[in-house]
Amino acid sequence: MSPLAPDARPAHLRLALGVLLVVALSACGKKEEAAQPGPGAEPAATTQPAKAPPKAVSDEVAALSADDLRKKASEAYQDSRLYAPAGDNAMEYYLALRDKLPGDPGVSSALTDLLPMTVIATEQSRDRGDFDEAQRLYALIEKADKDHPSLARLKSSVAAAEQAEAQRVEQQRLSAEQEAEEQARLERERAAQQEQQQREAAAQLAAQQQAEQKAAAEREAAQQAAAEREAAQQRAAQQRAAQQAAEPAEPKVVSASDLRPISTPAPRYPIDALRAGRSGEVQVEFTVAADGSVTSARVVRSNPPRVFDREAVAAVKRWRFEPTGAPVTTRRTIGFNPGG
């Protein structure tokens, strides 16, 4: 039995292909409706140059012999390499074999079985944005059956999806450019604000420095003025001291009220007067020296006369006072009382 005949393909593979075909056609039909442009929609303008349509069969596959193509097609079919990868799939091998054997019914039958799967794969490539793969698969379908009813629909839907993707990419690019422009504008504004803030801060700093310099100059001037006043006062004091040193010192005037006693022992009571029980008093005039000692003393009056004079004068000469800085002459009355 020929490997190209439909009977040569495993039954389980044919069944799986049929089930997969039904499910995929149902799912992709909805996606394709979304990919189709609206009734009044205009095709998006594109600046991309038109790509050359891919070759359905690679030169390497086309160069194989009919026997090699038959063998490789059967192997690819058995391994489920139905339409991919490029250059090593059943569709390419069968298409190349049909070019060499145009009337072979097994090849035609195999291509008929493979076409629905290839259509589904084309739609899936379109939906995931793999447009190069979609174009390659479209070329396989077109070469297999240039009148296939899905060709027009696939061509328009792939083109629309590709244009939509190009628009999305362009919109992203524009958005990125707008964002970059916005960032640049914000950066310019930030730089301008920073520059303005720095100018204001510099002006404030300069004003502060000027104020500080002015205050420092005023403090220095005040300190200098105070120093000059102090120096003038010192010079005046020195001049007064010099004048006072040059002038003769005036004697210090001290009165009796300035005397502050340190020691004033009482006079000794004469024995005869004590035995006789006599009392009396003596007024003594005495001079206190600058160091507080008594330098001279004399009786001014006494009552009774000459009884208590000697002891009164002797006692006064023993008296001591705080230094006065100048001699003072004064008088004191000393009383004598035997009962005291």
- Work out the average pLDDT over 100-114: 95
Q: Give 339's pLDDT tier (boundaries 50, 70, 90).
A: confident
pLDDT mean over 7-30: 47
pTM given for the model: 0.45
Q: In Å, what is the CA distance from 65 to each residue of 59, 68, 71, 99, 174?
A: 12, 5, 10, 11, 52
Torsion angle of the four alpha carbons 269, 273, 276, 281, in this order, in degrees rounded to the nearest 10: -90
pLDDT value of position 270: 95
Please report the pLDDT score of residue 10 as a whole number: 46
The residue among 32 and 146 whose pLDDT is bigger is 146
What pLDDT does 142 receive? 96
pLDDT above 70 (res 146): yes
Nearest to 127 by CA among 234, 36, 55: 36
pLDDT above 80 (res 256): yes
Average pLDDT, the chain: 85
Least confident of 105-109, 206-210, 271-275: 206-210
Task: Answer yes or no: is pLDDT of 36 > 60.
Answer: no
Tell me the average pLDDT across 183-192.
90
Q: What is the mean pLDDT of residues 36-62?
A: 68
Pair of tokens at residue 151:
């060709």
Please tell me the predicted confidence (pLDDT) of residue 48. Answer: 57
Q: What tokens were used for 306? A: 């000459």
Band (49; pLDDT cuts 50, 70, 90): low
| Cα-based distances in Å from 100 to 41, 81, 87, 104, 107 | 44, 21, 17, 9, 11
Mean predicted confidence (pLDDT) in 70-89: 96
Q: Does pLDDT of 269 surpass 90?
A: yes
Domains in the chain with CATH codes: 6-36+48-148 (no CATH), 256-336 (3.30.2420.10)
Look at the block and give the residue holding tokens 């391994």: 79
C-alpha distances (whole Å) from 274 to each of 130, 267, 278 are 155, 13, 6
Q: Please report which confidence band the pLDDT of residue 21 belongs to, taking 50, 70 and 90 as the band edges.
A: low
Residue 257 predicted with pLDDT over 50 = yes
